[in-house]
């Protein structure tokens, strides 16, 4: 599974598991984590399946939810899970050449903001400064920036134009300091330049991420594609393969090949349920696979790590 680096509020998740509810269709809503949903007449309308599983019977719609009892087991770590549920249904397209599925996403509190919200440029710059200072102290094995500057003075005197390669050699990866060096710079000036460059670069990156459209951020967060397109660009009469996202991020439509067999792994679309790791970066804790057929049938399977239910139905580490 892929990890997408992005600064977020710190949270941890060892792993998690999901429930899959295969619904028979109709007016009922998604089922709860501990049982079946109901239709308009109050009748049971779904069956719940536990992960891990190899697959369930195809259905007209499927809901993937995080079970309440696992949230209780994880305690504070459950706050790292960014999605509460994903409701999968077929999306009607003209013609048999493509099939599509709508993924109606219910985000956890703060989940959408963590995935596609603004990134604090000031906080990003401060974090970059702290990292740059730590790298300097570690590379020179000193306890203060003044000592690091003195060591840079020595390198300037010894290395001249070879300064950058020497800085890389001692562990200043990338070594912007070496590229920023101008004849006559002192060690203190070069250290200040390097730290300032790190701050400016991080702040600029934060601003670019913030300006990136929601569609282009949600698609990679779910590991569906490197980028997504606005839902308005999907033409049901002449569809093209791709991932389309509504402006509010609530629905993702995935267009691709139709499955001849709902269990055909070659036609399955894979997505990852996002979470945040202990560094505050986007990662995933479960993988979901689904197929769509021309008659509107969808199938869902998936896998998770580290947690399973024991014979008593309780969650334990795997």
**Final residue before a domain boundary, out of 152, 183, 210:** 210
- Residue 163 falls within a domain, yes or no? yes
- Residue 142 falls within a domain, yes or no? yes
CA atoms within 13 A on the CB side of 133: 13
- Residue 43 falls within a domain, yes or no? yes
Say yes or no to pLDDT of 78 above 70. no
- Residue 236 falls within a domain, yes or no? no
- Residue 241 falls within a domain, yes or no? no
Q: What is the pLDDT at residue 55?
A: 53
Say yes or no to pLDDT of 17 above 60. no
Instruction: Give the residue among 254, 252, 218 at the shortest CA–CA distance from 239.
Output: 254
Measure the CA–CA gap between 293 and 8, rounded to whole angstroms: 38
Say yes or no to pLDDT of 14 above 50. no
Q: Could you tell me which residue, 203 or 287, shows the higher pLDDT?
A: 203
**Final residue before a domain boundary, out of 155, 180, 210:** 210
CA atoms within 13 A on the CB side of 39: 11
- Residue 112 falls within a domain, yes or no? no
Strand partners, 173: none
Q: Give the count of domains, the chain.
A: 2
- Residue 9 falls within a domain, yes or no? no
**Final residue before a domain boundary, out of 178, 210, 242:** 210
Say yes or no to pLDDT of 228 above 60. yes
Mean pLDDT score of the chain: 78
Domain that holds residue 283: 19-98+257-317
pLDDT in tens, 110-166: 999 999 989 999 999 999 999 889 888 988 889 999 999 998 888 888 776 567 666
Query: pTM above the 0.75 mark?
Result: no
Say yes or no to pLDDT of 40 above 70. no
Do 32 and 84 share a domain, yes or no?
A: yes
- Residue 14 falls within a domain, yes or no? no
Do 264 and 313 share a domain, yes or no?
A: yes
């Amino acid at each position: 599974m892929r990890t997408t680096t992005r600064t977020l509020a710190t949270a941890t998740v060892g792993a998690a598991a999901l429930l899959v509810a295969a619904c028979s269709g109709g007016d009922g809503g998604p089922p709860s984590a501990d049982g079946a949903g109901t239709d308009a007449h109050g009748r049971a309308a779904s069956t719940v399946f536990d992960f891990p599983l190899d697959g369930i019977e195809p259905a007209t719609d499927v809901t993937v939810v995080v079970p309440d009892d696992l949230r209780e087991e994880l305690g504070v770590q459950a706050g790292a899970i960014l999605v509460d549920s994903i409701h999968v249904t077929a999306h009607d397209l003209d013609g048999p050449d493509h099939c599509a599925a709508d993924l109606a996403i219910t985000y956890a509190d703060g989940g959408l903001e963590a995935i596609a919200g603004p990134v604090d440029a000031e906080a990003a710059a401060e974090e970059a400064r702290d990292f740059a200072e730590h790298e300097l102290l570690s590379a020179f094995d000193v306890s203060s920036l003044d000592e690091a500057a003195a060591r840079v003075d020595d390198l300037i005197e010894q290395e001249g134009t070879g300064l950058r390669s020497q800085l890389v050699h001692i562990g200043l990866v990338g070594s912007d300091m070496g590229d920023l060096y101008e004849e006559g710079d002192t060690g203190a000036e070069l250290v200040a330049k390097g730290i300032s460059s790190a701050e400016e670069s991080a702040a600029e990156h934060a601003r670019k991420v913030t300006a990136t459209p929601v569609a282009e951020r949600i698609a990679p967060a779910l590991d569906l594609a490197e980028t997504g397109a606005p839902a308005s660009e999907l033409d049901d009469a002449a569809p093209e393969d791709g991932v389309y996202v509504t402006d509010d991020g609530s629905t993702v439509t995935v267009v691709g090949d139709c499955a001849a067999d709902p269990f055909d792994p070659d036609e399955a679309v894979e997505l990852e349920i996002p979470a945040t790791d202990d560094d505050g970066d986007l990662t995933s804790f479960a993988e979901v696979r689904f197929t769509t057929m021309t008659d509107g049938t969808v199938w869902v399977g998936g896998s998770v790590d580290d947690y399973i239910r024991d014979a008593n139905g309780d969650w334990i580490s795997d």
